[in-house]
Amino acid sequence: MDSSGTRLGPRFALVWTASAISTLGDGVTLVAAPLLVSSLTDSPLVVSGAMFAVTLPWLLFSLLSGGLVDRLDRRRVMVVVDWIRAAVIGVLGVAVALHRSSVPLLYAVMFLLGSGETLARAASMSILPAVVPPALLERANSRIGAARTVLHDMLAGPLGAGLFAVAAAAPFLLDAGSFAAAAALMGMLAGTFRAGPAPGTPARDGTSLRHEIAEGVRWLLAHRLLRTLAVLIGLLNVTLTAAMSILVLVATKRLGLGSVGYGLLFTALAVGGLLGSLVGERLIRRFSASVTLRVGLVVETLFHLTMAVSTNAIPVGVMLAVFGIHDALWGIVTTTLRQRLTPPEMLGRVNSAYLFLAAGGSAFGALLGGAVATRFGLAAPYWVGFAVAVVVAAVTWRVFDRATMTAAMRVDRAEVAA
């Protein structure tokens, strides 16, 4: 890091490269796993079970993982977890190559990968403030978000499907290699990243893990701004996941699109996400975090309204691109806020509690979308989302006032330069 404190530096380069490689591997597996299970069964329920298996650990273990991350060296957690995930997905790859794969094996592998992700995600989000100066957290989160958009959302889909068509084992073996490479890179990161108690507070020796997890949850719920954001993302994930879970039906039955057109809708979303990641830091600094979040609430509302009334693919595609920009900016602001406002010694627990609420909303939304659409029609989940977004925006608008957000995002420039 140079003395000006304006460069992210070589330590961030290691973290970013490891994250990018692992993200590509994750995306390839998420595309190849449904293809594998669909080659083994014709049951839609069994096929959807693969996605459920990888998301279930967020509801079961995310709070526990946050507690462990705050007790252990976060770099070591990431290294060990990635080596384990490399071995787990490698077993599946070998089984597929030997024609010994099965649905139970796939479920078990996806569940273990998801369990590891609860630890790795909490550790990676918590380690970043120790790697880059506080003033550069927006930039660092933007770079990581951009890599995820390009590699996970844009490239992984065609790459995973193409590799599976050539050799069914190839995507899983590639993912195993990506985890191994990420573990090796993180192993090169110098320093110790164990969170210690805050100055003036007693050591945690003898404190139970359950007590520490509860402490992190209580801290999040006691912080007005972060509590509002956590509950907000949980509610918005309910309606967003409900909306996205039936998008394929909207695309084919209402918009008249085929499989290629349906895929282009996700391309529009990814392009928006990439643009938001690339310009996010400048936009947030130019217009403030307050404006970013408030505009985001408006975009959430307009997204559901557009999806409810549109029968043409063009406005839907444009709205998805705009939503992608909003999603990237929202992620940058909220992640940076947690990293800045949370005491370092409980960052893992607070991040995991936040992600627990987000995952809970997504899980409920996946069930809600299909049920509401079945009972009331394809537009119904979007009208529900529109109503929820209007209410949420009205209730939380004052929380995101400029004075509160400016104070929350402020950093001590003298401290950064030092």
Please name the residue ranges forming H helices in 128-200: 137-148, 156-166, 170-187
Whole-angstrom CA distances from 371 to 94, 167, 357, 363, 385 are 38, 37, 21, 13, 14
Walk me through the domains of the chain, giving residue ranges and CATH numbers.
1-191 (1.20.1250.20), 210-410 (1.20.1250.20)
Structure token pair of residue 294: 């408030």
Distance between CA atoms of residues 397 and 123, nearest Å:
31
The pair of structure tokens assigned to 16 is: 């970013």
**What is the distance between the alpha carbons of residues 360 and 219, in angstroms, rounded to a whole number?**
19
Place of tokens 């959807």: 48
CA 373 to chain centre: 26
Q: Computed over its alpha carbons, how large is the radius of gyration of the chain?
A: 21
Helices and strands, counts by H and E, the chain: 16, 0
Beta-bridge mates of residue 194: 73
* Token pair in block for residue 39: 């080659």
Q: Does residue 130 contact residue 340 with C-beta atoms inside 8 Å?
A: no
Helices 347-376 and 209-222, packing angle to 10 deg: 70
In sequence order, which residues have a C-beta less than 8 Å from that of residue 90 and are 6 or more positions away? 172, 173, 176
What is the rounded distance in angstroms from the CA atom of residue 2 to the CA atom of residue 126?
23
Please state at what angle helix 224-245 crosses helix 347-376, rounded to 10 degrees. 40
What is the full DSSP assignment across 235-264? HHHHHHHHHHHTHHHIIIIIS---HHHHHH
CA atoms within 13 A on the CB side of 392: 26
**Tokens encoding 166:** 């050539």
Q: Which two tokens stand for residue 324?
A: 């992608």
CA distance 185 to 187: 5
- The CA distance from 239 to 272, in Å, is 20
CB 245 within 8 A of CB 366: yes
Give Cβ neighbours of residue 31 (< 8 Å, ≥ 6 apart): 156, 157, 159, 160, 161, 164, 171
Contact 321, 306 (CB under 8 A): no
Residue 294 φ/ψ, nearest 5 degrees? -65, -40
pLDDT in tens, the chain (418 residues): 333 456 788 999 999 999 999 999 988 888 788 788 878 887 756 766 777 788 788 888 988 998 899 888 999 999 999 999 999 999 999 999 999 999 999 999 999 998 999 999 889 888 988 898 888 888 888 889 888 888 887 788 788 888 888 899 999 999 999 999 999 999 999 888 886 554 445 445 556 888 888 998 999 999 888 999 999 998 998 888 888 877 877 888 888 887 677 778 878 888 898 899 888 888 888 888 889 999 999 999 999 999 999 999 999 999 999 999 999 999 889 988 888 888 888 888 998 889 888 877 877 777 777 778 888 888 998 999 999 999 999 999 988 888 877 777 665 333 333 3
CA 220 to chain CA centroid, nearest Å: 19
* Six token digits for residue 375: 């009972």
